[in-house]
A and B are shown apart, each in its own frame.
Chain A
Amino acid sequence: AQKVTQAQTEISVVEKEDVTLDCVYETRDTTYYLFWYKQPPSGELVFLIRRNSFDEQNEISGRYSWNFQKSTSSFNFTITASQVVDSAVYFCALSEYRYSGGGADGLTFGKGTHLIIQP
């Protein structure tokens, strides 16, 4: 069975600090997908990044960067120079590849990390 662990329930930092959100996953599949979503106070989940299990390259998008390490089953998310608008709940999620039934199973989510950026 697949599992995603976000050990940090809540993180509070002052604006402009860098912050890293941890994500550790478990799966028996060799083909799988990892995701990060942001949920601002409005409630709608916003997609941030998708990674497949064969692509371990780190990715940077503006102030956001992701570090994927299969050796430690981790997919961590770093925000550089945080801003108040980054305040939200962030979810890491895992989806295993299905060979029948039309595609990937539903996402398994971690419990989320509530990030608070103080001005």
Chain B
Amino acid sequence: DVKVTQSSRYLVKRTGEKVFLECVQDMDHENMFWYRQDPGLGLRLIYFSYDVKMKEKGDIPEGYSVSREKKERFSLILESASTNQTSMYLCASSLPRGATEAFFGQGTRLTVV
């Protein structure tokens, strides 16, 4: 059974903290993605990576950075968390060139207080 696993289901952090969201996939996929989901806005792409150490900005990268040191792991970093980053964060992975659908993790609901 294919798996994308996010390290936390729920997370509460304070404003100004550095926050790490971790995602691991076991399908040997080249592509990995981070999205945030907000009511009425759907899912929006923050960053994606198509290879180890490679990354590209998505639609809303401001306030975020990412790290991909190993193929199976893709981390989202909030350098200084703010209340407007309170959201559901979804990680996904896929093969390149649309060869398959994207597989999603269960999501991390982050609350910044």
Where the two chains meet, the residues of A that have a C-beta atom closer than 8 Å to any C-beta of B are 32-33, 35, 37, 43-45, 47, 50, 52, 91, 93, 95, 97-98, 101-112
1/0 contact string of B23-63 vs chain A (CB within 8 Å)? 00000001101010000111111001011001010110000
- Residue B70 is within 8 A (CB to CB) of chain A in the complex: no
Question: With the chains together, A107 CA to B58 CA distance in Å?
Answer: 10
Q: Say whether A47 contacts B97, CB under 8 Å.
A: no
B96 touches A103 (CB 8 A): yes
Instruction: Give the residue name and chain of the A residue nearest to B58 (CB).
Output: A106
The answer to whether B41 and A111 have CB atoms under 8 Å apart is yes
A47 engages B98 (CB within 8 Å): no
Q: Specify which of B33, B40, B48, B98 is in contact with A97 (CB 8 Å cutoff).
A: B98
Interface residue ranges, B against A (CB under 8 Å): 30-31, 33, 35, 40-45, 48, 50-51, 54, 56, 58-59, 88, 90, 92, 94-107
Residue pairs across A and B with Cβ atoms less than 8 A apart, 7 shown, are A43-B107, A44-B104, A44-B105, A45-B90, A91-B43, A106-B33, A111-B41
From residue B9, how far is it (CB to closest CB) to chain A in Å? 9
